[in-house]
């Protein structure tokens, strides 16, 4: 075996966005040695892109808010296939996690009496999102980063993990490479936390960066853990659609929270049509009431633009399909209209939505204080992921934990905006806490050198095939396949076709060729990421086929309604002994009576 | 509007390298990073560059475009004279790794040495604080920083004089300013600012402010007030005498 550089920690955290950083901080505070692996530089993970805010029932703006309402909102938004225990812990603990950020130096926008300000967001009954203009994610990641670097955490920037290492059933480390020199490294740890984020790069139109190739999902699956809810992918209703090069870049829901409206080519506010039954009595039935809601009038109900993301996305697709879209294939999102309502509207918009103003001005020559934006759905988030214990975040494999987007359960069939940042904090902390506990209670495991050699050989194979397939072309073909065939609107025929194409792409991915050497070679990195992308694409498609109904983010044209038999089950993806991907349905744990009552009381 | 433009991209590592020519098809609204990606996907699979968000929020894709420090994701081709080749090269204040990627790890070491946030005891029994929006506006301006390090790139003290061991650069002066002006913070960082962090080396040429993609008024709002604090504490004879007296009494 070649002499690989080796590092030893008690807890190894893979991924350095909100969940990974929070896990590392917690584990470190518990007194164990922590290693933190990030695919990019520290502080650049996708959390930085989060805009609107962190959902937590602080009740600073509306005293009627409390964890019970937040819990009920989250379950309703997820169409009741969420893991109730995660939703409960999340709603109860999010306020403390937000206040903790303030103690670590975060500077949230303030209420008039000097407390943390909260804003309206889709699916949340009360103004609940603690925020900093429209750059909340930056504030959160910087606060965690600056706090974390003083805790003695060892940070490995620009490292990618290729495989988890096991001793029997237990996960005891990870094997990967560093980008700069392309050298392999072994990380030994008594416990490993996956916090790798999402899978957005499997789709053509996405708000996600190059990093989001389903690494944690794939690492866990390959090691023998289970994935759940993989069919539920959130298409955020408002991504940029023009110019083509910026297609998919996120436009925060905060625009609608501040009073922005969606209109079609006829100038009509189409969201007033087709309000779902279970939201009807929470939703304004006229424009004036919707505006008053955004202005904080407590007797007003939310405008239909602030319905859940799955619903808004489908309405936008409907408008476009039926020929009422905007010139570049989206719909209009207009915040400039508020100048009819308030003085100094332009200044107000720039203060509340500074980065949206900047983004449209610079990338699309649009002044959002004067003109409407053109927007359309963009692949944003996956509700599905590694199946974990709700309290400890440990997967079915001893020593393997997961938190944040790569874990699953809290969001069910659709995530509410703002619940991701709070999820990262609540379950990042729990994962760090219980990983540290596990590490203290267990001895280091044994590592199989033969397996490491095999992984290294496989990883280097593309260098032997300089005339081989272009990894960028395979990635592009996969993105088009998933976008066209397993997108917002799905059918059995198209998804069968997708599976066949994924099969062909897998064969091509085994023949990629790389030019140049191992030093900072993005072609090589893209080639290595393909395996994970293809794996999660297959899992998404299989799960979406299995759920023969429409619920939350999954819309099946061939099964357009919710079905009773799917109302209390999760799809579970796992690896069979022969290496093939298996899919099965499993009943959800029964919600205890006290929570049923909470749901009942907050209908 | 599809037309072809020429790009001269710096290729190489710390030892050797030079500009190489590439042609890329330009469509409406394209940014420099799109051209780099197109070239990477079709002509130079191993072309090294950093990027993440592609929306000016993460600060990864810093480079010098036609000699100007820019985020490649926010620089539109329509702003550039495409009748001439567009040059793209790595930032210069840090050692080169490969192509457009530089070793910026020094910045992360510097930050680790800055004294962290230390809040006063909570204002309310529930462990929370009260702050007025107007008291945090300035700190929020500094906290917009996306750590692209373009300000470090153009700072003469770092770029030309390579005084990385004596001066922390505009990015971290702004970081210190955000901590020092935080209404809850109780730490004192003035002594370090003056000595280890070398604030005196900044001669206020404002190059950093000019290139900041977040339009932070680095010099006027951050560095100058910090310099004033250093002067007040270390060079004001009355203040010095007063503190000496207080110390003697204690």
Chain A CB contacts of B52 under 8 Å are 40, 44-46, 48, 209-211
Residues 48-67 of B with CB under 8 A from A: 48-60
Chain B CB contacts of A245 under 8 Å are 27, 29-31, 34
Confidence of residue B245 (pLDDT cuts 50, 70, 90): confident
pLDDT at B58 over 80: yes
| Contacting residues for A109 by C-beta, under 8 A, at least 6 apart | A116, A117, A131, A132, A133, B133, B140
Mean pLDDT computed over B110-131: 96
Distance from CA of B250 to the nearest CA of A (A): 31
Distances in Å between the alpha carbon of A46 and those of A50, A208, A214?
7, 7, 13
Q: Is residue A147 part of a domain?
A: no
Q: Are B77 and B31 in contact (CB under 8 A)?
A: yes
Chain B CB contacts of A146 under 8 Å are 111, 116-117
Structural domain B3-102, CATH architecture: Roll (3.10)
* Domain span holding position A317: 235-379
Domains in chain A: how many in total?
2
Of B40, B51, B103, B171, nearest to A39 by C-alpha is: B51
Residues 68-97 of B with CB under 8 A from A: 74, 76, 97
Chain B CB contacts of A521 under 8 Å are 45-46, 48
Q: Are A45 and A212 in contact (CB under 8 A)?
A: no
3-state secondary structure of A129: strand
Lowest mean per-residue pLDDT among A12-21, A518-527, B59-68, B238-247 = B238-247
A246 and A353 share one domain: yes
Chain B CB contacts of A113 under 8 Å are 130
Report the chain B residue with the minimal C-alpha distance to residue A365.
B29
CA dist A237 and A257 (Å) reads 14
Q: Is residue A536 part of a domain?
A: yes
Lowest mean per-residue pLDDT among A36-45, A122-131, B230-239 = B230-239
Reported pTM: 0.96
CB contact under 8 A, A520 and B139: no
The domain boundary, picked from A341, A363, A379, lies at A379
pLDDT at A518 over 70: yes
A498 and A363 share one domain: no
Confidence of residue A556 (pLDDT cuts 50, 70, 90): very high
CA dist B209 and B141 (Å) reads 13
Chain A CB contacts of B56 under 8 Å are 355, 358-359, 362
Interface test with B, best of A95, A138, A530 (most B CBs within 10 A): A138
CB contact under 8 A, A44 and B60: yes
The interface predicted TM-score (ipTM) is 0.95
Report the chain A residue with the minimal C-alpha distance to residue B60.
A44
Q: How many CB pairs under 8 A join A and B?
A: 169
Q: Are A555 and A574 in contact (CB under 8 A)?
A: no
The domain boundary, picked from A379, A397, A416, lies at A379
Residues 92-151 of B with CB under 8 A from A: 97-99, 101, 103-105, 108, 111-112, 116-117, 119, 122, 127-133, 136, 139-140, 143-144, 146-147
Confidence of residue B1 (pLDDT cuts 50, 70, 90): low
Q: Is residue A45 part of a domain?
A: no
Q: What is the pLDDT of residues A161-198, one digit of tens each?
A: 999 999 999 999 999 999 999 999 999 999 999 999 99
CB contact under 8 A, B29 and A244: yes
As separate numbers, helices (DSSP H) first and strands (DSSP E) second, chain A gives 16, 20
Distance from CA of B86 to the nearest CA of A (A): 18
CB contact under 8 A, B112 and A150: yes
pLDDT at B239 over 70: yes
Q: Is residue A596 part of a domain?
A: no
Confidence of residue A1 (pLDDT cuts 50, 70, 90): low
Q: Is residue A61 part of a domain?
A: no
Distance from CA of B190 to the nearest CA of A (A): 19
CB contact under 8 A, A472 and B182: no
Distance from CA of A530 to the nearest CA of B (A): 14
CA dist A555 and A566 (Å) reads 13
3-state secondary structure of B176: helix
Tell me the angle at which helices B169-180 and B133-142 cross, rounded to the nearest 10 degrees: 160
CATH code at position A278 = 3.90.700.10
Domain B105-249: which CATH class?
A: mainly alpha
Chain A CB contacts of B58 under 8 Å are 43-44, 48-49, 209
Which residue of the set A236, A387, A430, A490 is catalytic? A236
Q: Is residue A78 part of a domain?
A: no
- Write down the pLDDT at residue A378: 96
- Per domain, the residue ranges of chain B are 3-102, 105-249
| Contacting residues for A277 by C-beta, under 8 A, at least 6 apart | none
Of A147, A362, A521, nearest to B48 by CB-CB distance is A521
Q: Are strands A385-386 and A159-167 parallel, antiparallel or unpaired?
A: unpaired
Mean pLDDT computed over B132-155: 97
Which residue of the set A124, A256, A415, A525 is catalytic? A256
CA dist A419 and A94 (Å) reads 9
CA dist A556 and A542 (Å) reads 13
Chain A CB contacts of B131 under 8 Å are 107, 110, 114
CA dist A21 and A193 (Å) reads 11
Of A203, A532, A216, nearest to A378 by C-alpha is: A203
Distance from CA of A560 to the nearest CA of B (A): 35
Of A433, A410, A432, nearest to A55 by C-alpha is: A410
Identify which has the larger pLDDT, B237 or B50: B50
Q: Is residue A456 part of a domain?
A: no
Q: What is the pLDDT of residues A121-137, one digit of tens each?
A: 999 999 999 999 999 99
pLDDT at A475 over 80: yes
- Write down the pLDDT at residue A501: 98
pLDDT at B238 over 90: no
Residue A73 phi, psi (nearest 5): -60, -45
A379: β partners:
A206, A235
Q: What mean pLDDT value characterizes chain B? A: 95
Distances in Å between the alpha carbon of B233 and those of B181, B200, B230?
16, 14, 5
Q: What is the pLDDT of residues B60-118, one digit of tens each?
A: 999 999 999 999 999 999 999 999 999 999 999 999 999 999 999 999 999 999 999 99
Our CA dihedral for A550, A555, A560, A563, rounded to 10 degrees, sits at -10
Q: Two tokens at B177?
A: 């300013």
pLDDT at A2 over 80: no
Report the chain B residue with the minimal C-alpha distance to residue A152.
B112
Q: Are B234 and B190 in contact (CB under 8 A)?
A: yes
Q: Is A236 a catalytic residue?
A: yes
CB contact under 8 A, B58 and A49: yes
pLDDT at B2 over 80: no
Q: Two tokens at A462?
A: 């593309």
Identify which has the larger pLDDT, B249 or A382: A382
Interface test with A, best of B15, B58, B141, B142 (most A CBs within 10 A): B58
Q: Is A584 a catalytic residue?
A: no
CB contact under 8 A, B146 and A48: yes
Chain B CB contacts of A142 under 8 Å are 143
CB contact under 8 A, A46 and B53: yes
pLDDT at A10 over 70: yes
């Amino acid at each position: 075996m070649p002499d690989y550089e080796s590092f030893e920690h008690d807890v190894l955290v893979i991924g350095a966005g909100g969940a990974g950083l929070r896990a590392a901080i917690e584990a470190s505070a518990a007194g164990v040695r922590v290693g933190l692996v990030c695919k990019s530089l520290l502080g650049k993970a996708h959390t930085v892109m989060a805009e609107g805010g962190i959902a937590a029932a602080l009740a600073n703006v509306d005293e009627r808010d409390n964890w019970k309402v937040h819990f009920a909102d989250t379950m309703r938004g997820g169409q009741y296939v969420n893991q109730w225990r995660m939703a409960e812990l999340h709603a109860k603990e999010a306020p403390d996690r937000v206040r903790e950020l303030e103690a670590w130096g975060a500077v949230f926008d303030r209420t008039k009496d000097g407390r943390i300000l909260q804003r309206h967001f889709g699916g949340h009954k009360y103004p609940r999102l603690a925020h900093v203009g429209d750059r909340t994610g930056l504030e959160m990641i910087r606060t965690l980063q600056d706090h974390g670097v003083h805790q003695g955490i060892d940070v490995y920037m620009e490292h990618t993990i290729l495989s988890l290492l096991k001793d029997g059933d237990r996960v005891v480390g990870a094997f990967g490479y560093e980008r700069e020199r392309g050298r392999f490294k072994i990380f030994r740890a008594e416990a490993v936390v996956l916090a790798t984020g999402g899978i957005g790069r499997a789709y053509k139109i996405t708000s996600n960066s190059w990093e989001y190739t389903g690494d944690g999902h794939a690492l866990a699956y390959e090691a023998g853990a289970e994935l759940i809810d993989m069919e539920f992918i959130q298409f955020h209703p408002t991504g940029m659609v023009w110019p083509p090069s910026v297609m998919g870049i996120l436009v925060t829901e905060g625009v609608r929270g501040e009073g922005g409206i969606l209109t079609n080519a006829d100038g009509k506010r189409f969201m007033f049509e087709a309000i779902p039954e279970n939201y009807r009595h929470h939703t304004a039935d006229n424009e004036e009431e919707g505006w008053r809601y955004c202005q904080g009038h407590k007797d007003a109900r939310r405008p239909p633009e602030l319905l859940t993301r799955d619903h808004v996305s489908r309405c936008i697709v409907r408008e476009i399909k039926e020929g009422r879209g905007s010139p570049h294939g989206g719909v209009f999102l207009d915040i400039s209209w508020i100048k009819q309502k308030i003085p100094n509207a332009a200044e107000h918009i720039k203060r509340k939505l500074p980065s949206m103003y900047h983004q449209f001005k610079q990338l699309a020559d649009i002044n959002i204080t004067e003109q409407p934006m053109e927007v359309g759905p963009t692949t944003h988030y996956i509700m599905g992921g590694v199946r974990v214990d709700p309290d400890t975040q440990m997967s079915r494999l001893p020593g393997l934990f997961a938190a944040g987007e790569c874990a699953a359960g809290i969001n069910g069939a659709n995530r509410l905006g703002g619940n991701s940042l709070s999820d990262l904090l609540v379950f990042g902390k729990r994962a760090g806490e219980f990983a540290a506990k596990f590490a203290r209670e267990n001895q280091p495991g044994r590592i199989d050198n033969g397996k490491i050699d095999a992984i290294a050989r496989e990883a280097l194979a593309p260098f032997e095939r300089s005339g081989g397939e272009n990894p960028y072309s395979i990635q592009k073909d996969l993105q088009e396949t998933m976008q066209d065939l397993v997108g917002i609107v799905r059918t059995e025929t198209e998804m069968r076709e997708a599976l066949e194409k994924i099969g062909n792409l897998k064969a091509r991915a085994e023949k990629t060729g790389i030019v140049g050497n191992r030093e900072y070679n993005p072609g090589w990195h893209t080639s290595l990421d393909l395996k994970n992308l293809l794996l999660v694409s297959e899992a998404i498609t299989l799960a979406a086929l299995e759920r023969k109904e429409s619920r939350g983010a999954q819309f099946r044209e061939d099964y357009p309604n919710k079905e009773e038999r799917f109302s209390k089950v999760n799809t579970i993806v796992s690896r069979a002994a022969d290496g093939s991907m298996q899919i099965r349905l499993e009943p959800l744990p029964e919600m205890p009576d006290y929570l049923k009552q909470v749901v009942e009381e907050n209908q | 509007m599809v037309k072809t433009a020429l790009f001269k991209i710096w290729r190489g590592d710390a030892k050797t390298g030079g500009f190489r020519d590439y042609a890329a098809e330009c469509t409406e609204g394209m940014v420099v990073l799109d051209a780099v990606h197109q070239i990477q996907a079709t002509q130079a699979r191993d072309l090294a560059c950093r990027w993440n968000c592609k929306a000016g929020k993460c600060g990864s894709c810093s480079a010098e475009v036609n000699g100007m420090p820019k985020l490649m994701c926010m620089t539109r081709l329509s702003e550039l004279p495409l009748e001439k080749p567009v040059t793209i090269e790595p930032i210069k204040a840090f050692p080169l790794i490969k192509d457009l990627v530089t070793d910026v790890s020094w910045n992360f070491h510097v930050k680790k040495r800055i004294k962290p946030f230390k809040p006063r005891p909570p204002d309310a029994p529930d462990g929370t604080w009260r702050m007025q929006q107007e008291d945090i506006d300035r700190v929020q301006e500094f906290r917009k920083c996306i750590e692209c390090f373009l300000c470090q790139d153009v700072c003469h003290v770092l770029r030309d004089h390579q005084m990385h061991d004596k001066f922390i650069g505009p990015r971290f002066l702004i970081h210190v300013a955000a901590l020092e002006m935080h209404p809850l913070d109780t730490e004192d960082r003035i002594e370090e600012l003056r000595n280890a962090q070398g604030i005196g080396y900044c001669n206020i040429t404002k190059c950093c402010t000019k290139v900041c993609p977040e339009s932070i008024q680095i010099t006027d709002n951050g560095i100058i007030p910090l310099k004033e604090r250093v002067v007040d504490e270390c060079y004001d004879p009355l203040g010095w005498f007063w503190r000496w007296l207080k110390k003697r009494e204690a």
